[in-house]
C-alpha cells in the first residue's frame, strides 16, 4: 500500500460532507489520502503534532477545511513547509467569515485558499493533484483525462440543448 500523499483535515465532523467532494476527486485520480478531524482551538496540541510530522508521515500536500474562525489551515501552515490549501466552510455568514480567516494570512505563512464550500473542496483536491503531478507523469495523464471529460460533458450538454432549441425560441 503506497503511503498517503494528501492529508485532508477538517475542524469538525460536520465539515466531512463538504470535504467529501474533494475526496471523490482524489479517489477518481487515484491519489492516496487520509482524512482527520483536528481543531485549531479544541485540539491544538494534536493539530500541531500532526503538522510537524506530516512530511515524515509521507504527506506531500495538506488540505484543511474549517468554518467560522477557520484557523485550522493557518495553524497547520505555521508548523509545516508542505503546501497547505485552505477550504473555507459555509456557515452562519455564508462562509465569508471562514474565507477571510483562511485567506488573510500574515506575510511569510502562505495558505493557498480556494472557494467556499463544496466547490472549494473539489478545487482543493484538483490543486493538490496539480502539485503532485509535477513529479508524477501518470497523475498528469489522469488530470488531462479529467479535464477532457469535463470538456466532453459540456459539449454533450450543448448538443442536447441544440436538439431542444425550438422550445427556447420565440417563434
> Could you tell me if residue 157 is inside a domain?
yes
Burial (CB < 10 A; 0-12, 13-18, 19+), residue 108, is: exposed
Q: 76 and 14 in one domain?
A: yes
Question: Domains in the chain: how many in total?
Answer: 2
In contact, 88 and 81? CB cutoff 8 Å: no
- Predicted confidence (pLDDT) per residue in 40-94, tens digit: 999 999 999 999 999 999 999 999 999 988 899 999 999 999 999 999 999 889 9
**What confidence score (pLDDT) does residue 171 get?**
57
Q: 131 and 51 in one domain?
A: yes
> Could you tell me if residue 1 is inside a domain?
no
Q: 95 and 82 in one domain?
A: yes
- Predicted confidence (pLDDT) per residue in 128-163, tens digit: 999 999 999 999 999 999 999 999 999 999 999 988
Q: 76 and 149 in one domain?
A: no
**What confidence score (pLDDT) does residue 164 get?**
84
Interior/surface letters 3-19, b for 16+ CB within 10 angstroms, e for the rest: ebbbbbbbbbeebeebb
> Could you tell me if residue 51 is inside a domain?
yes
In contact, 27 and 55? CB cutoff 8 Å: no
Output 108-115 pairs: Cβ under 8 A, ≥24 positions apart. 109/74, 109/77, 109/78, 110/77, 110/84, 111/64, 111/73, 111/74, 111/77, 111/84, 111/85, 111/86, 112/83, 112/84, 112/85, 112/86, 113/73, 113/85, 113/86, 113/88, 114/85, 114/86, 114/87, 115/88
Q: 97 and 14 in one domain?
A: yes
Which domain covers residue 166, as residue numbers?
Answer: 137-171
**pLDDT confidence of 165, banded at 50, 70, 90?**
confident
- The CATH number of the domain where 93 resides is what? 3.40.50.1970
In contact, 8 and 32? CB cutoff 8 Å: no
- Predicted confidence (pLDDT) per residue in 105-137, tens digit: 999 999 999 999 999 999 999 999 999 999 999
C-alpha cell at 64: 484543511
Q: 158 and 89 in one domain?
A: no
> Could you tell me if residue 166 is inside a domain?
yes
Q: How, if at all, do strands 84-88 and 61-66 pair? A: parallel
Q: 155 and 73 in one domain?
A: no
What's the pTM?
Answer: 0.92
> Could you tell me if residue 167 is inside a domain?
yes
Q: 129 and 145 in one domain?
A: no
Q: 160 and 94 in one domain?
A: no
Amino acid at each position: 500500500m503506497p503511503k498517503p500523499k494528501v492529508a485532508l483535515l477538517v475542524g469538525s465532523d460536520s465539515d466531512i460532507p463538504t470535504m467529501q467532494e474533494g475526496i471523490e476527486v482524489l479517489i477518481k485520480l487515484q491519489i492516496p489520502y487520509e482524512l482527520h478531524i483536528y481543531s485549531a482551538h479544541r485540539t491544538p496540541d494534536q493539530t500541531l503534532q500532526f503538522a510537524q510530522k506530516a512530511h515524515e508521515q509521507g504527506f506531500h500536500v495538506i488540505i484543511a477545511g474549517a468554518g467560522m474562525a477557520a484557523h485550522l489551515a493557518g495553524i497547520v501552515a505555521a508548523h509545516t513547509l508542505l503546501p497547505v490549501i485552505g477550504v473555507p466552510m459555509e456557515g452562519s455568514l455564508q462562509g465569508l467569515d471562514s474565507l477571510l480567516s483562511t485567506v488573510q494570512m500574515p506575510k511569510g505563512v502562505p495558505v493557498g485558499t480556494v472557494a467556499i464550500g463544496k466547490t472549494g473542496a473539489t478545487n482543493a483536491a484538483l490543486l493538490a493533484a496539480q502539485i503532485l503531478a509535477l513529479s508524477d507523469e501518470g497523475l498528469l495523464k489522469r488530470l488531462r483525462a479529467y479535464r477532457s471529460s469535463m470538456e466532453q460533458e459540456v459539449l454533450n450538454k450543448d448538443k442536447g440543448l441544440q436538439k431542444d432549441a425550438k422550445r427556447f425560441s420565440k417563434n
